[in-house]
Amino acid sequence: MRDAATEELLRSDDPRIRVIAVAGSSYRLDALQDDAFAPGRRLTLVPEPENEHDPNAIGIWDADRKLQAGYVPADMARELDAADWQAVSLLEFFDSGRRAGLRVLLAPRDAWIGVPRA
């Protein structure tokens, strides 16, 4: 990944971005198979203040909010305001030919994120 303004490579510890493993995706494996979660696809962060287990929970959904992949990990969700961030599917993991997990790029809402190269 590169900074759009300077074209410098971004380091994984750059404070402007986060790369996270989607929590709870093992409970949503059927939804995870949808192309809406393929690398490069934009995703939607949905705060869940009424979540009985964690009022800081932030769901990770497809762009149309029809399918949920899982959640931002709880320790990170406590630090984020979902309205300030955008999400893009970055990496997918497979088990027995099925998508079994995702890594998602979180970047500030005003950051420019281009389409991945083929």
Domain ranges of the chain: 18-108
Which stretches in the chain have pLDDT values below 50? none
State residue 30's pLDDT score.
97
Residue 115: the pLDDT is 65
CATH code matching the domain that covers 18-108, chosen among 3.40.50.12140, 3.90.25.10, 3.30.70.2330, 1.10.3720.10: 3.30.70.2330
Q: Model-level pTM?
A: 0.88
For residue 1, the model assigns a pLDDT of 67
Whole-number pLDDT of residue 8:
78
Q: Is the distance from CB of 112 to CB of 105 less than 8 angstroms?
A: no
- Report how far apart, in Å, the C-alpha atoms of 71 and of each of 26, 27, 74, 98 are: 11, 11, 8, 19
